[in-house]
């Protein structure tokens, strides 16, 4: 992305900043998903991989729903392993 004048530099910086800010939110979401996935693996050691992926996604959805009600994440019940 070449910038030639002052206003094009400003526009290029604005675009770059918006992309970096969006990438930050994506990175945080991926890190939280990875943490939920690690917690599932440590909780239930012998389950297949598809169970871990589904359980981690389910925990993220439950945590997102409960975040408005100010409930701690530890109060979310985990379903038993199939």
% residues pLDDT > 90 (the chain): 22
Mean pLDDT for the chain overall? 78
* pLDDT: which is higher, 47 or 73: 47
- Residue pair 52/40 in contact (Cβ under 8 Å)? The answer is yes
Cα distance between residue 23 and residue 66, in whole Å:
25
- Residue pair 62/28 in contact (Cβ under 8 Å)? The answer is no
pTM given for the model: 0.56
Look at residues 58, 61, 63, 82 and name the one whose alpha carbon lies nearest to residue 74. Answer: 63
Cα distance between residue 20 and residue 32, in whole Å:
18
Q: How confident is the model at residue 26 (pLDDT cuts 50, 70, 90)?
A: very high
Q: Answer whether residue 43 shows pLDDT above 50.
A: yes
């Amino acid at each position: 992305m070449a910038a030639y004048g002052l206003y094009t530099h400003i526009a290029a910086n604005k675009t770059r900043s918006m992309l970096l800010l969006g990438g930050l939110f994506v990175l945080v979401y991926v890190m939280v998903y990875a943490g939920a996935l690690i917690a599932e693996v440590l909780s239930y050691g012998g389950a297949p991989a598809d169970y871990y992926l589904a359980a981690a996604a389910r925990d993220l959805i439950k945590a997102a729903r409960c975040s408005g009600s100010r409930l701690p994440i530890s109060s979310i019940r985990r379903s038993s392993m199939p």
